[in-house]
Amino acid sequence: MPKSNLRIGTGFDIHRLVKGRRFILGGVEIPFELGLHGTSDGDALIHAIIDALLGASCLGDMGKAFPVDDPKYENADSTHLLSQIVDKLSQQNWSIVNIDSVIICEQPKLSPWYGQMKENLAKVLKISANTISIKAKTCEKLGDIGNGAALAVQVVALLEKIGKQIV
């Protein structure tokens, strides 16, 4: 049976919204009175993308790549972490075909920032912005996300193995 050179990975991340932190998604700082709690800058979109890419390539997960108990990741810029994963994928002959994401939160309204997030992510991922989808949904005021205490992100990534057939 022929093997496919395509692999799909999924990623998920959730962070509490807290005072005294910047609100950063897709490497873009968005004006908001709350920010995302986390060891790094809390960029849940990038964290979910990292997990989707690592999952598709079978290279582990974000916790293995960037342990939360390692002080060098305290307040780390997540775009730098993503860049390291992109380099690792390239070394393994993986090419990113596309990224599809959904951000789940009640506030702030994110659609004005989609273009900037896509452009920023495209530069780091080394792909075209038109291969990145960003959407936002609410939880209709249900649960911790619905009451504004948290934000979650789900991502699907498609990778293609370049040059070598998957065995």
Q: Are 134 and 103 spatial neighbours (Cβ–Cβ below 8 Å)? A: yes
**Which CATH number fits the domain that encloses residue 130?**
3.30.1330.50
Residue 32, domain member (yes or no)? yes
pLDDT tens column, 110-160: 999 999 999 999 999 999 999 999 999 999 999 999 999 999 999 999 999
Residue 167, domain member (yes or no)? no
- Predicted local confidence at residue 167, as pLDDT: 54
Residue 166, domain member (yes or no)? no
Number of domains in the chain: 1
pLDDT tens column, 54-89: 999 999 998 888 878 888 888 889 999 999 999 999
Residue ranges making up the domain that contains 96:
6-161
